[in-house]
Amino acid sequence: MENKIIARTLRLLGQLMELHDENPFKVKSIANAAFKIDKLPYPIAGKSLTEMEQIDGLGKSTASKVWALVQTNSIPELSDLLAQTPSGIVEMMRIKGLGPKKIVVIWKELEIENVGELYYACNENRLIEAKGFGLKTQEEIKKAIEFSMASSGRFIYARIEHFAEGLLQELQRQFRTDQVYVVGQYRRRCEIIDSLDILTSYSLTNDIKQLLENAGLNPGSFINNAIECEAEIGIKVNLIFCTSENIGWQKILHTGNNDHVDELALKLVNTDVSGKSEYEIYALAGIPFIEPELREGLNEFPLAAANKLPDLISYTDLKGTLHNHSTWSDGVHSLEEMAVFCRDELKLAYLGICDHSKSAFYANGLNEIRVAAQQREIEELNIKLAPFYIFKGIESDILYDGSLDYSSDVLASFDFVVASVHSILKMTEDKATERLIKAVENPFTTILGHPTGRLLLSRGGYPINHRKVIDACAANNVIIEINANPLRLDLDWRWQQYAIEKGVLLSINPDAHRKEGFYDMHYGTLIARKGGVSRNNCLNAMDLDQIKTLFTKKRS
């Protein structure tokens, strides 16, 4: 066993001892021993217990721990502490800038138990007011987590978008052609991107590797008309070459998943597609053009054959934004700042403010007195900012028994209620489904917020029976949120079409905690397009009068 491994194990022991508030002198002794062992010019594993005890900075107690580690590959005290500590907390200790004191606050006060929850908390600014933290520390932690996530080679769409669009432009410049296209997962707007696939009709030349290096790529070997490259940010980039005459079919071939391409190919047997555009090739197959987002081999071909492909929603279809937070709970900007930004910068007609309810104490949730005060401010702002309109909303916690957070009298004071689960996320499918359905059946629930609580690449959502929950929303006239935060994108696009078939409206909600968070509606729109959502299926594609009527009807 190498000295570095022994030192690393002792450091973990010391951190856990500090985390669990053990004697600070013992903690310091373990930390000092770890430092000493890491710097030894010889392997300590080859020493006897007596020899270990003589090493400066160890002593009998620590030496016995090192001896146990070398002989049994474990330290009893460490095993005991690990058993008392959630695995996600141990993982947090690897994040640069997070020591035991800060982790105690995160774990015990903010009730965050894994890196995924911590990353989302950074996005919601929950760390800013916590003891020992601040905006700068929060941003440093967020960047450290993003770096760690990138090292896995998988990226959420939003993290790769800027790089992908910049790389596309740079390759067009290097190749001196505009026939460079991003295909694959990125073009289908998948929520998780494993690799960037780029198609080009550029003719291969001897200087291709140099051109790719100029574009910031590290090219590998050339196999089957493709070069696999690595980008500095950690994602794999596949560069695929083809002739100009074949570009239409190649775009189809490398955009759709295997099921989609195979089914289309069957419709094109013995058909010459050379020189044809994508639109022309789908026409040759006897079907309308299928948008890239829909090419997943699900129900797109039956819809195309019946001429029922959805007219996919676009960002410009959105007339307002619902489910947002202000400084009344855990937001960065004031209610007026959020409203003015929506009106003047985004040119929207309305804002739905949904600060956290009283059970969300970690997010400065509103008690009944503060609810009334916020509603008075909204009434004043609606006079001041007219015709722009602010709806009185709340993100009401769904409690463990499925009830909502507040009495009926308080819930009745809101224009609309977003009901969401934020606590006790470890549930069986039956319990989670029962909990959501009970909340959906509450007559005050307008929108079901982020239905599974998932955090992409960080935390799987609690398991639910999607069909039962969606059916309950249909029966109770409850809208389902497509949470546009790129870490959530929940409701999952795979269930959006089922909701539409059941007549359930969907709402693209940014869950913004600062002005810049409104821009996440872009990602919500992309994932809604992937789910086959049109403006007719989307709540906040309604104009102000329409949505006022809908909320009034629901409340009555």
Tens of pLDDT, residue by residue over 530-545, are 999 999 999 999 999 9
Domain definitions of the chain by residue range = 3-150, 152-241, 257-308, 315-555
What is the tens place of the pLDDT at every residue in 375-408?
Answer: 999 999 999 999 999 999 999 999 999 999 999 9
What per-residue confidence (pLDDT) applies to 152? 66
- Look at 21-30, 129-138, 223-232, 323-332 and tell me which has the smallest mean pLDDT: 129-138
What per-residue confidence (pLDDT) applies to 150? 61
3 state DSSP class of 314? coil
pLDDT, average across residues 81-89:
87
| Sign of the C-alpha dihedral computed for residues 544, 548, 549 and 554 taken in this order | positive
pLDDT band for position 11 (50/70/90)? confident
What per-residue confidence (pLDDT) applies to 101? 85
Backbone angles phi, psi at 538, to 5 degrees: -110, 125
What per-residue confidence (pLDDT) applies to 151? 55
- Look at 117-131, 140-154, 244-258, 478-492 and tell me which has the smallest mean pLDDT: 140-154
pLDDT band for position 221 (50/70/90)? confident
Alpha helix (H) residue ranges in 331-476: 335-340, 368-384, 408-411, 429-441, 466-475
Q: What angle do the packed helices 3-19 and 24-39 form, to 10 degrees? A: 170
How distant is the alpha carbon of residue 488 from its chain centre? Answer: 4
- Look at 42-56, 210-224, 297-311, 514-528 and tell me which has the smallest mean pLDDT: 42-56
Cα–Cα distances (Å) from 243 to 173, 225, 247, in that order, read 19, 11, 6
Q: What angle do the packed helices 59-72 and 24-39 form, to 10 degrees? A: 60
Q: % helix / strand / coil in the chain, to the nearest 5?
A: 50, 15, 35
- Look at 186-195, 210-219, 465-474, 529-538 and tell me which has the smallest mean pLDDT: 210-219
Integer Cα distance of 322 and 396 in angstroms: 14
Q: How many CB atoms lie within 10 A of CB 121?
A: 22
What is the tens place of the pLDDT at every residue in 465-477?
Answer: 999 999 999 999 9
Beta-bridge partners for 196: 237
pLDDT, average across residues 546-550:
97
pLDDT, average across residues 54-75:
85
What is the tens place of the pLDDT at every residue in 266-282?
Answer: 999 999 999 999 999 99
What per-residue confidence (pLDDT) applies to 444? 97
What per-residue confidence (pLDDT) applies to 421? 95
How distant is the alpha carbon of residue 139 from its chain centre? Answer: 17
CATH number for the domain running over 3-150: 1.10.150.110
The answer to whether residue 326 scores a pLDDT higher than 60 is: yes
pLDDT band for position 161 (50/70/90)? very high
Identify the architecture of domain 257-308 in CATH. 2-Layer Sandwich (3.30)
- Look at 75-89, 90-104, 315-329, 371-385 and tell me which has the smallest mean pLDDT: 90-104
CATH number for the domain running over 315-555: 3.20.20.140
The answer to whether residue 41 scores a pLDDT higher than 80 is: no
pLDDT mean across residues, the chain: 91
CATH T-level fold of 152-241: Beta Polymerase; domain 2 (3.30.460)
Strand pairing class (155-156; 192-193)? antiparallel
Residue with tokens 């026409």: 283
Structure tokens at 331: 């937001």
The answer to whether residue 94 scores a pLDDT higher than 80 is: no
